[in-house]
Amino acid sequence: MFKKLNLQVKISAVILIPFLLMIIVSGAINVKSVSTITKDLSYKVLEQSSTGEATILQFFLREELLYTTGLQYDVETLYNDGTRTRTVYENMINNFLDKMHPNVCGMSITFLPNYVGDDINYINDPKYSAANGQFSYYVARSGNQKESRGFTSQELTEDYITKPLSTGKPYITPIYEYLLFGTKKEQIFSWCVPIRNNGNVIGVIITDILVSSINSLVANIQPFEGAEASLFDSDGNILYDAQDTNNVTKKLYAAYDYYKQYNVLDIINKGTATNFSAYSEKLKKNVTYTFVPLELTSGQYWGLKLLVPNNVIFRESNNIRNRIIIISLIIMIVAFLITPLIMKKKVSNVIYLLAQDMVKLSNGDISWSPPKQFLALTDEWGIIANGIQTTLDNLNKIVHTVKNSADHVSTAANEVLSGNNDLASRTEMQASSLEETASSMNEIASNINESADGVLKSSQMVMEAKQYINKVGNIVKESVIKMNDVNEASGKIMDITKLIENIAFQTNILALNASVEAARAGEQGRGFAVVASEVRNLAQNAQESVKNITNLINDSNDKVTLATESVKESQSIFIELEEKMDKAADIMQKINNASQEQKRGVEQINLAIMEMDSSVQKNAALVEEATAASQSLLDESKDLIDSIEYFKLREEE
């Protein structure tokens, strides 16, 4: 299918497909990167907005702490000045409560036992009897109504009393229910500030605040469209929940059990913010929960939760993603529209014109030239056009040259052909004359060969006779050498016999000495005397035998000496005969060499004549081949001229 498309579409497809893939891939990467960046940025903005709202709420909640701290300073000043009258402190609390915001529903002051008067003096006073006379004064209000009383011993053991006394630091209670005037239940929390004297904690001032007073403030926290806020204390008690008002006073994990898997309460109590995304059943959409801590006192945190729909916080991210997609689509559409047009104008049209010119070239037409507007281009098309122009110029020159050369070759081939025919006739005449000369030389060579063979045989016979005489001479020479060896061996035997004779003589003397010693030994040496006697007899016999052998060897040596002299005379005769045979052999060898030289000379003459005959025959064959080649060259030149006629050439200048 792709092969059937025209070149414009193919080139456009080859360019556009990788380009579009790059656009798609880069667009996907950009969308992913932008989404990630904007998502992180949105989370950061959400966290910062939540932190800002938490700071405002924290300031509001700590406002009563500041007022209470001011009252603490006044109380400590009075106490340090020596004021121990209980009514003074009661009036101070009443007056201060009147000046507080309406969200403050009560205040109290408590001193440790016997720090404001002796408790025993007030044990029967109705205001203090419930605490065994210990000074504690609480005043509550609701609108224009007020009531006051002392704390009970049980109330003095609650955390709003014991915590600030034990830590010496301000303390904020978790929310709890309080029955105002015995009929009205209110959700409240309390600021508890310790009273000090000379660095020692001697009492506590408490300010009770209505939880409902902060509902409007939390409800107005809406940094994003559709955002909902919730507030909970350090124990996880919910003070306000825009998602569900029925969750107020409930524990956080009881109302939203899936918060537990994110350890929300532990993270907030560490003073750290957190967030996560989940599906909201109420809103029926994905939302992001952000939790930020409110540090009300050192190490004591409440938590502010903000719920924001993901389509709100990621709206800008989605808009950027959509813009990137739209821009990528526009680029793709523009590329689809413009690329084929550019390809047609800059590539396809040029290739079409070049293709037409190539068709002319394939038909043998090299008389044309590329259009001048192509030759004037400075880009790759200009280089191609100028290259084609140069090729055409060179082709015209070459074909013209070949055509002219073919004409010259044709004329020369005709001339060579007639010359070869004349040479062939003369070569045939020379060949017949050489054949007759070769026949005569063969007869002369045959006669000389027979004479040379006879001389060679005679020379060989003389050489054989010489070899036999040499062999006999060698045998005689060896006989002389062996006779000399026998003479030397006889001399050595004589030496040995003399040695044996000396040994026998010495043995005889030793045996004689042994006999004498045996005789001296008497009976003990008699056996040894017998042995010595036998040894002496053997020595004497050996000495006589050696003398006989010596006589025989001397006689043999005389005979060997005579034989040696006879052999030496034979050797001198054979040496003289060998010298004469050498001279005869040299003469025969010279005769043989002369015959062989004459034979070789005739053979060389014969070979020369044969080579001349062969050369003449080869020349005749070469003349025939040259004639055939000339004829073939003439035919080829005609074919070449016919082939060149295929090209349509420019007119020669």
Do 468 and 606 have their domain in common? yes
Q: With b meaning 16 or more CB within 10 Å and e meaning fewer, what string describes 175-214?
A: bbebebeeeeebbbbbbbbbbbeeeebbbbbbbbbbbebb
pLDDT digits (tens, 9 = 90+) for 582-634: 787 788 778 778 777 877 877 787 787 777 777 767 877 877 787 788 778 77
Instruction: Please give the full DSSP string across 228-275, using - where no structure is assigned.
Output: EEEEE-TT-BEEEESS-GGGTTSBHHHH-GGGGGGTHHHHHHTT--EE
Q: What is the CATH number of the domain that holds 50?
A: 3.30.450.20
User: What is the C-alpha separation between 587 and 590, in angstroms, rounded?
Assistant: 5
pLDDT digits (tens, 9 = 90+) for 228-262: 899 999 999 998 888 888 888 899 999 999 899 99
pLDDT digits (tens, 9 = 90+) for 155-198: 999 999 999 999 999 999 999 888 877 777 888 999 999 999 99
- What does the pLDDT read at residue 12? 66
Q: What is the CATH number of the domain that holds 570?
A: 1.10.287
Show the tokens assigned to 138: 């609480």
Do 308 and 389 have their domain in common? no
Closest CA to 215 of 332, 363, 103, 361: 103
**At residue 192, what are phi and psi to the nearest 5 degrees?**
-120, 115
pLDDT digits (tens, 9 = 90+) for 81-117: 999 999 999 999 999 999 999 999 999 999 999 999 9
Through-space distance between the first and last CA atoms of the chain, rounded to whole angstroms: 50
Instruction: Please give the full DSSP string across 390-441, using - where no structure is assigned.
Output: HHHHHHHHHHHHHHHHHHHHHHHHHHHHHHHHHHHHHHHHHHHHHHHHHHHH
Do 528 and 636 have their domain in common? yes
Residue 518 included in any domain: yes
Do 280 and 424 have their domain in common? no
User: What is the C-alpha separation between 287 and 307, in angstroms, rounded?
Assistant: 7
Residue 10, C-beta contacts closer than 8 angstroms, at least 6 positions apart: 2
Query: What share of the chain has pLDDT > 70, as a percent?
Result: 90
Is the confidence at residue 518, as pLDDT, over 70? yes
Residue 10 included in any domain: no
Show the tokens assigned to 468: 């036999």
> Confidence class of residue 578 from pLDDT cuts 50, 70 and 90?
confident
Q: Are 324 and 27 in contact (CB under 8 A)?
A: yes
Domain span holding position 499: 384-644
- What does the pLDDT read at residue 35? 61
The structure tokens 């009075």 sit at 78
3-state secondary structure of 97: helix
Which of 312, 342, 361 lies at the terminal end of a domain, its last residue? 312
- What does the pLDDT read at residue 400? 75
pLDDT digits (tens, 9 = 90+) for 371-416: 877 778 777 777 887 888 788 778 777 877 877 777 777 787 777 7
User: What is the C-alpha separation between 441 and 122, in angstroms, rounded?
Assistant: 179
> Confidence class of residue 516 from pLDDT cuts 50, 70 and 90?
confident
Please compute Rg for the chain using Cα positions.
74
Element (H, E) at 622: helix 526-644
Is the confidence at residue 5, as pLDDT, over 60? no
Show the tokens assigned to 455: 């001389």
> Confidence class of residue 461 from pLDDT cuts 50, 70 and 90?
confident
Do 564 and 423 have their domain in common? yes
> Confidence class of residue 482 from pLDDT cuts 50, 70 and 90?
confident
The structure tokens 């456009």 sit at 12
Is the confidence at residue 8, as pLDDT, over 60? no
- What does the pLDDT read at residue 631? 78
Which of 274, 293, 312 lies at the terminal end of a domain, its last residue? 312
How many CB atoms within 10 Å of residue 38? 20
Mean residue pLDDT of the chain comes to 81
Q: With b meaning 16 or more CB within 10 Å and e meaning fewer, what string describes 514-550?
A: bbeebeeeeeebeeebeebeebbeebeebbeebeebb
**What sign does the CA torsion over 510, 516, 517, 518 have?**
positive
Which of 312, 339, 374 lies at the terminal end of a domain, its last residue? 312
Residue 290 included in any domain: yes
pLDDT digits (tens, 9 = 90+) for 264-296: 999 999 999 998 888 877 778 888 999 999 998
**At residue 187, what are phi and psi to the nearest 5 degrees?**
-90, 120
- What does the pLDDT read at residue 39? 63
pLDDT digits (tens, 9 = 90+) for 43-76: 677 778 788 888 888 888 889 999 999 999 999 9
- What does the pLDDT read at residue 19? 67
Residue 131 included in any domain: yes
User: What is the C-alpha separation between 630 and 334, in angstroms, rounded?
Assistant: 71
User: What is the C-alpha separation between 386 and 375, in angstroms, rounded?
Assistant: 6
Closest CA to 97 of 155, 137, 62: 137
Write the single-letter amino acid at 379.
D
- What does the pLDDT read at residue 222? 79
- What does the pLDDT read at residue 88? 96
Do 489 and 627 have their domain in common? yes
Task: Specify the pTM.
Answer: 0.47
The C-alpha angle 71, 74, 78, rounded to 5 degrees, equals 140
Residue 583 included in any domain: yes
Do 581 and 478 have their domain in common? yes
Overall number of domains in the chain:
2
Do 267 and 390 have their domain in common? no
- Measured CA to CA in angstroms, residue 115 lies from 72, 203, 205, 462 at distances of 16, 9, 14, 170
Give the residues across from 231 on adjacent strands: 240, 304
Do 281 and 430 have their domain in common? no
- What does the pLDDT read at residue 10? 63
Residue 22 included in any domain: no
Residue 596, C-beta contacts closer than 8 angstroms, at least 6 positions apart: 452, 456
- What does the pLDDT read at residue 280? 79
Q: Which of the residue ranges 237-251, 349-363, 492-506 would you say has the lowest mean pLDDT?
A: 349-363
pLDDT digits (tens, 9 = 90+) for 318-346: 667 677 778 878 887 877 778 777 766 66
Q: Are 194 and 168 in contact (CB under 8 A)?
A: yes
Do 393 and 290 have their domain in common? no
pLDDT digits (tens, 9 = 90+) for 109-160: 999 999 999 999 999 999 899 999 999 999 999 888 899 999 999 999 999 9
Residue 39 included in any domain: no
Is the confidence at residue 3, as pLDDT, over 60? no
- The backbone region for 249, taken as left when phi is positive above 0, alpha when psi lies in -120 to 50, beta otherwise, is left
User: What is the C-alpha separation between 87 and 351, in angstroms, rounded?
Assistant: 112
Residue 83 included in any domain: yes
Q: Are 296 and 65 in contact (CB under 8 A)?
A: yes
